[in-house]
Structure 1
Amino acid sequence: MSPGNSTTAPEHIRMHIGGQWRDAEQVAQVKNPYAGNIVAHMPVSSPRDLDDALNAARGARAAMADMPGYERAAMLQRAADQVAKRAEDIARAMSLETGKALRDSLLEVQRTSGVLRLCAEEAVRIQGEHVPMDASALGAGKIGMVMRFPVGVVAAITPFNAPVNLAAHKLGPALAAGNSLVLKPSPKAPLSVHKFIEAVLEAGVPEGAVNTLYGDAVAPQLICDPRVDFVSFTGSIPVGKIIRDRVGMKRVALELGGVGPTFVHRDANLKAAAIACARNAVGLAGQSCVSVQNVFVHQAILEEFTEAVCREMDSIRFGDPMDMATEVGTLIDEQAAIRVEGMITRALESGATALRGGARAGAQLPGTILTNVKSNMSIVCDEIFGPAMSIQPYEQVEALFSAISDSPYGLQCGIYTNSLDLALKAIKTIRTGGVIVNGTSRWRSDQMPYGGVKDSGMGREGPKYSIRDMTEERLFVLN
């Protein structure tokens, strides 16, 4: 795959509703953030499209619920095979529309196939439990069981930063649990999701079980509609709060933002920590909810660590996303890069020092390392979602643990240390969705329960855990 590809004709995206492909009356352009050319034309779904998609999903509930677990598992394995076969095509589309480095896009599609296989395995492991009714006089002589059943219709809204993998983290568990789905991807990354859905449908999905809508106009009604039983959203904290306020009694899973705290203690493997912090601050151009943003370093190793991080940052290759030698491409668009550039500029004007950084070129920003930051700077206390990090020294780590626990954020944090006592203290005292020991805040494996607390969200992603959320308990008592 050669760099550039700016002369390729735009592709045509269609909605999939009720087992049929459908065009829209309106379309929107999807542009390459690196080259500026039009990559695709995206349908803008209408209220009628939304109504038809929800009716189709509602109508498919019975077929999905009646499908035995082994058949759902086989269907998802076939879908995984199709995604793997089309990996290069899906990855290329992803890089063209998002500016993500092609090597990362290929890895994401490979992981996506793996997510579907994990979902297939979990489709035959959906379990309830026996309730010991004879624990009370009233229950004695009775048999009690808690059983799990699909919720019905899942509405899934996905972001641009990992468009295919995060779509799979919603679609896969929904189908594995016996639900139907209405998926609305980000309008900034619709082409790769469209190609992913084409691959999934080759697996023989029941008519109406998977439906796609595009554009943001239909999102408010999608989450509020009474035909939807469960809402799964990955995106920003402000939008997540709006969804939580509007869905009423529906259950939701919200995977929102964070500020990427990672600790490097004086007994850490300094070289490994420096490499990981630098690369996980700028990987995906910093556009990850758990991207390394605030690195807290023990004063005793501050100078050595800072030098090592700067050396590693200098080795990272930024450039054309379609070049396999490129490690970091662009942000999603120039407006996003301008926003991050503004955060960095305001920090420098307030006294911060830039050890690494440089001028913006369109949607591309170089990796930025800041020191001498203050806790009230937006570059510290707000989610950057860009390729920038700060290094902050400490003497006593406990106060920082408390500050993170008291902050609005609680997605994941990382800590590098060889002290078991300190690692356990971090796990016990930091109020967050996950603590990664000898890894950064950005570490994630697809089978693990991933998600946050406080403003960082609710619910957990990961096939087993999403399936748990996308099923409901029903008590069965036999007298």
Structure 2
Amino acid sequence: MAKSSSPGAIERGFLACGRELQEGREVVVRSPWDQSVVGTVREASHGAVMEAVGSLERSLAATRKLSAHERKRILLAVAEKIAAQKEELARLIVAEAGKPLKAARVEVERAVLTYTTAAEEAVRMTGEVLPLDLLKGNEGRWGMVRRFPAGPVFAITPFNFPLNLVAHKLAPAVAVGCPVLLKPAPQTPLSALRLGDFLLEAGWPAEALAVMLLSNEDAEFLLEQEERLKVLSFTGSAKVGWKLKQKAAKKRVLLELGGNAAMVVHGDWGDVEGVAKKAVLAGTSYAGQSCISVQRVYVERAVFDDFVAQAVKQAGRLVLGDPANEETDVGPVIRESDAERIESWVDEARAGGVTVLAGGSREGCVVEPTLLTGTRRGMKVLDEEVFAPVLAIEPYDDFNAVLDEVNHSPYGLQAGLFTRDVGRIFRAYETLDVGGLIVGDTPTWRIDPMPYGGVKDSGLGREGVRYAMDEMTEPKLLVMAV
């Protein structure tokens, strides 16, 4: 494989409450494309972690007193810094995550929106006044409810959106005045460190932020025994997320986990070519490494053959290869072990009688966009989260039955629906066990201010800036008898 153009190798310590510490186990960050060294960071020692937790706890007295105006100013300053370094940040994402450049640029734009939205919400989070003179003898009583920062947040982020998913932890926490200990993915820590730099440069108190790689043992210790951290906000796999929740004891827990996103295409929509193109792009963008990547596509039988033909045509147009190239659509998955797993799942499906309509092979970490049909329950490519550019396309005859088929999944994050019938739309809205139903687009569509999260194995609580702010605060009641 040709070497991609990327930033020179970066050597960074972790941010620990205003200091950049250099001790700890060395972690080498490598490009998923060509395995070149992107940077070197350090895993924090247990002592450094505990020192940081103490600093975060002490800083709460100051962060909770920051005015809404000051929090807004800090967040807008971070948004401006991200926008000013858009291309540099995009190429850093390409280098450490293997995300195609055009997708990395979109991620940077989304991070700007995330911080800008948080700045606006910081001054919009209001309380309410309650009449309490509802029974005789309570005349003159009234109540006021305000939200206060719950305390230091322990945030854990994945590799697939190393800038914007970090922003979805840091920005809401700053907006409500919560100190943060952020554990980024070890594959992609450099983007997180840059966001930490931006926050400190913007004026967020240094003692109120730590961006650290932690050992799994230290992470579990913090969840099980460290009561000074009040909130766990985790984005990652369902297996890990639910395990962490069991260990989180008395903490508030926000989980944004995996998915197995389905979309339903009814024949009344028309524009089969356009919908097929959307489905393939939504299932293969960033090599399918998103929890809302399209994985299952159910198409009404009357238009199924046409849809399949158009989907195969679209898959054949995609450009594979070096993520730093402007034209690349599908780059590598994050690790070769993941590519091997994906290949084995496809081979297993093929051996089980599934027809491979397109793709089905890999070269190194690059998995071909793969379209399958003839899948059935019990196959990993249909039941599990494949996290790859692999789509199962199946026909259906009955709309109610296909809704049941969509629900036959342990996951319930988002679903997509293409129909022009309002009755079907509301039937799907009421029936589908998902956190969000997207009509007229794929389940992969997301805008950052919206509530985002799922049910069943897909998580607990909601992200999306304002909704994460609610998760990181506690309502407090004041009753007045005058």
TM-score (norm 1): 0.97
Aligned counterparts of 1:44 and 1:160: Cα–Cα separation in 2 = 16
Residue in 1 that maps onto 2:430: 428
Aligned pairs for 1:2-401 within 5 A: 4-5=4-5, 9-137=8-136, 139-217=138-216, 218-224=218-224, 225-269=226-270, 270-401=272-403
Aligned counterparts of 2:83 and 2:94: Cα–Cα separation in 1 = 17
| Counterpart secondary structure, 1:105 | helix
Q: 1:425 to 1:327 in 2, by over 3 A?
A: same
Question: Contact 1:145/1:475 (CA < 8 Å) preserved in 2?
Answer: yes
Structure 1 residue 3 displacement after superposition = 6.8
Could you tell me which amino acid in structure 2 is paired with residue 67 of structure 1? L
Question: Contact 1:262/1:296 (CA < 8 Å) preserved in 2?
Answer: yes
Question: Contact 1:54/1:227 (CA < 8 Å) preserved in 2?
Answer: yes
Structure 1 residue 399 displacement after superposition = 2.1
| Structure 1 position 412 matched with structure 2 position 418 | no
Structure 1 residue 193 displacement after superposition = 1.6
| Counterpart secondary structure, 2:267 | coil
Aligned counterparts of 1:371 and 1:109: Cα–Cα separation in 2 = 35
Aligned counterparts of 1:162 and 1:305: Cα–Cα separation in 2 = 30
Aligned residues: 477
Question: Contact 1:17/1:56 (CA < 8 Å) preserved in 2?
Answer: no
Moved more, 346-355 or 402-411: 402-411
Aligned counterparts of 1:126 and 1:110: Cα–Cα separation in 2 = 24
Moved more, 191-200 or 346-355: 191-200
Moved more, 140-149 or 158-167: 140-149
Question: Contact 1:153/1:179 (CA < 8 Å) preserved in 2?
Answer: yes
Could you tell me which amino acid in structure 2 is paired with residue 231 of structure 1? L
Aligned counterparts of 2:444 and 2:137: Cα–Cα separation in 1 = 50
Show CA shifts across 1:287-333 (max 9, x none): 00011000001011000011111111111111101111112211001
Moved more, 43-52 or 443-452: 43-52
Aligned pairs for 1:436-475 within 5 A: 436-475=438-477
Aligned counterparts of 1:213 and 1:139: Cα–Cα separation in 2 = 52
| Counterpart secondary structure, 1:183 | strand
Structure 1 residue 406 displacement after superposition = 5.4
Question: Contact 1:3/1:322 (CA < 8 Å) preserved in 2?
Answer: no
Aligned counterparts of 1:262 and 1:62: Cα–Cα separation in 2 = 47
Structure 1 residue 398 displacement after superposition = 1.1
Q: 1:374 to 1:406 in 2, by over 3 A?
A: closer
| Counterpart secondary structure, 1:226 | coil
Aligned counterparts of 1:154 and 1:339: Cα–Cα separation in 2 = 34
Show CA shifts across 1:232-267 (max 9, x none): 000000001111111112111100011111000111
Aligned counterparts of 2:69 and 2:434: Cα–Cα separation in 1 = 36
Question: Contact 1:275/1:309 (CA < 8 Å) preserved in 2?
Answer: yes
Aligned counterparts of 2:298 and 2:475: Cα–Cα separation in 1 = 43
Show CA shifts across 1:126-181 (max 9, x none): 12222221223354320111111011101100000011100000100000001110
Aligned counterparts of 1:89 and 1:200: Cα–Cα separation in 2 = 17
| Counterpart secondary structure, 1:49 | helix
| Counterpart secondary structure, 1:379 | helix
Aligned counterparts of 1:49 and 1:88: Cα–Cα separation in 2 = 33
Structure 1 residue 216 displacement after superposition = 3.8
Structure 1 residue 200 displacement after superposition = 2.5
Structure 1 residue 98 displacement after superposition = 1.4
Show CA shifts across 1:265-287 (max 9, x none): 11123222111100001001000
| Structure 2 unaligned spans of 5+ | none
Structure 1 residue 9 displacement after superposition = 4.5
Aligned counterparts of 1:25 and 1:345: Cα–Cα separation in 2 = 41
Aligned counterparts of 2:146 and 2:57: Cα–Cα separation in 1 = 22
Question: Contact 2:343/2:360 (CA < 8 Å) preserved in 1?
Answer: no
Q: 1:227 to 1:30 in 2, by over 3 A?
A: same
Show CA shifts across 1:23-77 (max 9, x none): 1232111111111211111211121121011111111111110001011001100
Q: Which runs of 4+ in 1 moved over 4 A?
A: none
| Counterpart secondary structure, 1:205 | coil
| Counterpart secondary structure, 1:293 | strand
Structure 1 residue 201 displacement after superposition = 2.1
Could you tell me which amino acid in structure 1 is paired with residue 221 of structure 2? Q
Question: Contact 2:11/2:41 (CA < 8 Å) preserved in 1?
Answer: yes
Aligned counterparts of 1:194 and 1:316: Cα–Cα separation in 2 = 33
Aligned counterparts of 1:403 and 1:280: Cα–Cα separation in 2 = 20
Moved more, 219-228 or 449-458: 219-228
Q: 1:138 to 1:266 in 2, by over 3 A?
A: farther
Moved more, 269-278 or 389-398: 269-278
Aligned counterparts of 1:400 and 1:49: Cα–Cα separation in 2 = 53
Question: Contact 1:263/1:416 (CA < 8 Å) preserved in 2?
Answer: yes
Question: Contact 1:49/1:213 (CA < 8 Å) preserved in 2?
Answer: no
Aligned counterparts of 2:319 and 2:40: Cα–Cα separation in 1 = 31
Aligned counterparts of 1:229 and 1:452: Cα–Cα separation in 2 = 22
Q: 1:244 to 1:274 in 2, by over 3 A?
A: same
Sequence identity of aligned pairs in percent? 37
Aligned counterparts of 1:431 and 1:5: Cα–Cα separation in 2 = 43
| Counterpart secondary structure, 1:476 | strand
Aligned counterparts of 1:129 and 1:20: Cα–Cα separation in 2 = 40
Aligned counterparts of 1:406 and 1:339: Cα–Cα separation in 2 = 23
TM-score (norm 2): 0.96
Aligned counterparts of 2:388 and 2:463: Cα–Cα separation in 1 = 23
Coordinate RMSD, CA, aligned: 1.5
